[in-house]
């Protein structure tokens, strides 16, 4: 057994672990990075990158199918699913060098490719290596949650880790789960000509108001997606080469492929956390506001921590633990300024509190300002007028924003910054956005907030009349 001593041991080479490793190494710390799977983790290999590449291909196909409304007659003469998936693979390969073992070794990081488990509170075993570290960061991410469905273990189902390995187009794809992953993959496959069904035990995109979800639901239906809400899969069985789903509220469904998108679970089983005195539960590792575990030498970040499970959350967590571990600076974890985006057409993006949650917390002090995209000239020229921007305010402080629109994920960054800096809506008033852009709605929503306060103010109207008479 080879013994290694180091300043910092990072377990997991996903987005969070890579940010911690690169930052610490470049600041002069001795770093060991451990990864039992692929460098880059879930986001690069099975999540954000391949799913967005697939959506890009699917939306291109949709643009061709919708070209007639622009006066352009076009048709898809060949849609090659294998080539589409090869395109996805190519995009992963283009980004992979940034997350590669070679790049991090060039930074001075020692990279070990195996799974890690604790031997004691300060010692971790990785293959034939026994590592003792002053500080340890757990960044092992999450994986697809597999529901307890009778017979599911007897069929070849897909998760996000296997979906992008397909090279033959599904004849009929069923997706269990109507959350972000489920609806994104449903729309992508429907636009690539695949018969697609979503099966959701509740309603799709739970957690959002129905008026937020309605444009996405309408778009999915227009794309040909069959949505079965309030439906439970009671039993699954093989049906020759197909898969038969027995449903609670509909006839049995026979499909060629089945994708499980029913949530995520943290990757903690291999770590032997009990040996290190680290508390955990079904939601992940228990941490304080500095992301320290019950073992004060160990930190946990990203999907291992209960809260928003996004790549950018993991990167944010990485910054917190670097400050704490390397400089002794406390940087309390917050969640209100972390945006979330579902990359459907139209996209859903949000940050902070929605109106209903804000009212529950603060009562009738809460206000909102909303602008529909129908009033935005760029949305009109692009024929993308479905959606809105809504800002939630406490006094004049911005505490939340929800956007449904094309490129909502790009628009939400503006409001994420406003909330992160505790700015008031008046701080936006001097901004001059370029015309014509979708970004104008961010300024327009401010104008809509002030309009009744200005134009329905009797004192101001009186003042203007007097001013005009005095200064002729």
* In a shared domain, residues 309 and 259: no
Domain identity same for 13 and 34: yes
- pLDDT of 461 reads 65
Contact 122, 132 (CB under 8 A): yes
Cα dihedral 371, 374, 377, 379 sign:
positive
Is 455's pLDDT higher than 70? no
Kindly report the pTM of this predicted structure. Answer: 0.94
Mean pLDDT of 116-125: 96
Same domain, residue pair 283 and 181? no
Pair 156, 217 in one domain: yes
Question: Is pLDDT at 286 greater than 90 in this prediction?
Answer: yes
Give the total number of structural domains in the chain: 3
Average of per-residue pLDDT across 143-168: 97
pLDDT digits (tens, 9 = 90+) for 63-85: 999 999 999 999 887 899 999 99
The answer on 277 and 157 residing in a single domain is no
DSSP 150-209: BTGGGS--B-HHHHTT--S--SEEEEE--SHHHHHHHHHHHHTT-EEEEEESS-TTTTS-
Asked if residue 461 belongs to a domain, the reply is no
Q: Assign residue 383 a region (left: φ > 0; alpha: ψ between -120 and 50; beta: otherwise).
A: left
Residue-wise pLDDT for 333-368, tens only, equals 889 999 999 999 999 999 999 999 999 999 999 999
Same domain, residue pair 134 and 283 = yes
Using CA atoms, how far apart are residues 372 and 350, in angstroms rounded to an integer? Answer: 16
Give the model's confidence band at 146: pLDDT under 50 very low, under 70 low, under 90 confident, else very high.
very high
Tell me the per-residue pLDDT of 294-317, one tens digit each, with 9 for 90 and over.
999 999 999 999 988 899 999 999
Are the CB atoms for 190 and 225 separated by under 8 Å?
A: yes
Claim to verify: residue 174 and residue 190 sit in the same structural domain: yes
Beta strands in 16-83 (DSSP E): 31-34
Summarize pLDDT for 366-381 with one digit per residue, the tens: 999 999 999 999 999 9
Structural tokens at position 418: 């406003």
Q: Do residues 322 and 250 both lie within one domain?
A: no
CATH label of the domain that carries residue 274: 3.50.50.60
Pairing of strands 2-11, 31-34: parallel
Residues 384, 346 contacting (CB under 8 angstroms): yes
Specify the pLDDT at position 459: 67
Q: What is the pLDDT of residue 472?
A: 64
Domain end: 263, 289, 311, which one?
263
**Listed residues 263, 293, 311: the one ending a domain:** 263
- Length reported for the chain: 472
For residue 79, being part of any structural domain is answered with no
- How far apart are the C-alpha atoms of 395 and 420, rounded to whole Å? 17
Quote the CA–CA distance of 116 and 35 in Å, as a whole number.
8
Alpha-carbon dihedral 125, 131, 133, 137, rounded to 10 degrees? -40
- pLDDT digit string (tens) for 220-249? 999 999 999 999 999 999 999 999 999 998
* Whether residue 370 is found in the same domain as residue 442: yes
160 domain-assigned: yes
- Rounded to whole angstroms, the Cα distance separating 408 from 349 reads 6
Model confidence at 430, in pLDDT bands (50, 70, 90)? confident
CATH code assigned at 411: 3.30.390.30
Q: Which domain holds residue 250?
A: 152-263
Residue 322 shares a structural domain with residue 183: no
């Amino acid at each position: 057994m080879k013994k290694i001593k180091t300043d910092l041991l990072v377990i997991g080479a996903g987005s969070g672990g890579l940010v911690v490793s690169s930052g610490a190494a470049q600041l002069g710390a001795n770093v060991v990075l451990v990864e039992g799977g692929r460098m880059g983790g879930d986001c690069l290999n099975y999540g954000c990158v391949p799913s967005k590449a697939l959506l890009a291909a699917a939306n291109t196909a949709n643009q061709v199918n919708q070209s007639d409304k622009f006066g352009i007659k076009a048709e898809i003469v060949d849609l090659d699913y294998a080539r589409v998936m090869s395109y996805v693979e190519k995009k992963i390969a283009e980004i992979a060098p940034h997350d590669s073992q070679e790049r991090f070794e060039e930074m001075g990081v020692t990279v070990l490719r195996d799974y890690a488990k604790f031997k004691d509170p300060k010692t971790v075993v990785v293959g034939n290596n026994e590592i003792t570290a002053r500080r340890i960061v757990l960044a092992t991410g999450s994986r697809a949650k597999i529901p307890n469905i009778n017979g599911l273990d007897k069929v070849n189902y897909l998760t996000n880790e296997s979906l992008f390995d397909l090279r033959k187009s599904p004849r009929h794809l069923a997706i269990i789960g109507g959350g972000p992953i489920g609806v994104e993959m449903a729309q992508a496959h429907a636009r690539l000509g695949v018969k697609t069904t979503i099966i959701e035990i509740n309603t799709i995109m739970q957690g959002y108001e129905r008026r937020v979800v309605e444009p996405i639901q309408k778009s999915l239906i227009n794309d040909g997606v069959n949505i079965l809400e309030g439906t439970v899969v009671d039993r699954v069985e093989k049906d020759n080469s197909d898969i038969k789903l027995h449903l609670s509220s509909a006839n049995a469904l026979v499909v060629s492929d089945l994708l499980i998108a029913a949530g995520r679970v943290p990757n903690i089983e291999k770590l032997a956390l009990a040996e290190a005195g680290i508390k955990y539960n079904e939601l992940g590792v228990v941490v304080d506001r500095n992301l320290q575990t019950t073992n004060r030498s160990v930190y946990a970040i990203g999907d291992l921590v209960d809260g928003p499970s996004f790549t950018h959350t993991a990167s944010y967590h990485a910054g917190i633990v670097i400050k704490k571990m390397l400089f002794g600076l406390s940087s309390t974890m917050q969640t209100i300024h972390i945006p979330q985006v579902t990359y459907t057409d139209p996209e859903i993006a949000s940050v902070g509190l929605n109106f209903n949650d804000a009212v529950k917390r603060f009562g009738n002090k809460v206000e909102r300002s909303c602008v529909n995209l129908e009033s935005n000239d760029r949305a009109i020229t692009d024929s993308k007028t479905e959606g809105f921007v809504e800002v939630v305010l406490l006094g004049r402080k911005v505490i939340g924003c929800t956007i449904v629109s094309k490129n909502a994920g790009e628009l939400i960054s503006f409001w994420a910054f406003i909330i992160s800096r505790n700015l008031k809506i008046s701080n936006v008033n001097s901004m001059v956005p370029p015309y014509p852009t979708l970004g104008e709605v961010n300024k327009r929503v401010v104008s809509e907030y002030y309009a009744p306060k200005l134009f329905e103010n009797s004192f101001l109207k009186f003042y203007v009349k007097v001013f005009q008479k005095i200064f002729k």
